[in-house]
Amino acid sequence: MPTFSFVKVLPASTMMSMDAADFAGIACGLLAALFLASGVPKIRRPFGLALALIRFGIVKRVRPGLGRLLGVVEVAAGVAVAVSPVLFPAALAALALLVAFTAVVVRSVLAGQSVECACFGTGETTSWATVARNLVLIAVAAFLAAVPAVPSMEQRISGLLIGGAIACGYLLISTLAELKPFSVRIDG
């Protein structure tokens, strides 16, 4: 009777044998997962981003349609990075979005503002930590735009699994940091 194993045990030398296409697959997965996780809440509830655009000084009045449009653009960038047979345009689009978002956040932080940015649909406020996260993502998108290797579909699926796990971990940690469910307040 055959046995089926759903977990493939990889030897320790596997990391050493990964090539550029493997890393590109992981980069695709990470960017796709994060853009999807960020864009979908903006499509579903665009009002938070519409308010953030006012707080950032980008628009003068609440425009939920613009918030929804930015969410659609983020989802499109995520899908393009995940499945596009030609990575350069998709990676360049992701890079442009990340640079634009980071420029707005840096301007806000330098002005001393802590704006609720509607990043990932949460109540995250902008800070240097937001800038640092975005700089890491910019580096990932720049790598993806520069790498000559194109990952296979298998490498992209593996990348989506890894990227999804990283995105879920990040979102869990950032949500816990906002909600502080384990903090104890003792009023005396």
Tens of each residue's pLDDT in the chain, 188 residues:
555 444 454 555 555 578 888 999 999 999 999 999 889 988 998 888 888 888 888 888 888 888 899 999 999 999 999 998 889 999 999 999 999 999 999 999 999 988 887 777 666 788 898 899 999 999 999 999 999 888 988 998 999 999 889 888 888 887 787 777 777 667 65
DSSP element (H, E) containing 137: helix 128-146
* pLDDT at residue 126, as a whole number: 85
Backbone φ and ψ of 125, nearest 5°? -105, 150
Domain assignment present for residue 139? The answer is yes
Domain assignment present for residue 182? The answer is no
Is the distance from CB of 60 to CB of 99 less than 8 angstroms?
no
Backbone φ and ψ of 6, nearest 5°? -90, -10
Is the distance from CB of 182 to CB of 53 less than 8 angstroms?
no
Q: How many domains does the chain divide into?
A: 1
**Positive or negative CA dihedral for 145, 149, 151, 155?**
negative
* Cα(173)–Cα(180) distance, integer angstroms: 10
* pLDDT at residue 172, as a whole number: 85
Whole-structure pTM value: 0.81
Question: What angle, rounded to 10 degrees, do the helices at 47-55 and 64-83 form?
Answer: 100
The distance of Cα 141 from the centroid of its chain, to the nearest Å, equals 11
* pLDDT at residue 7, as a whole number: 46
Domain assignment present for residue 29? The answer is yes
Domain assignment present for residue 13? The answer is no
* pLDDT at residue 46, as a whole number: 86
* pLDDT at residue 143, as a whole number: 95
* pLDDT at residue 15, as a whole number: 53
The boundaries of the domain holding residue 106 are 19-176
Strand ranges for 97-187 from DSSP E: none
Domain assignment present for residue 9? The answer is no
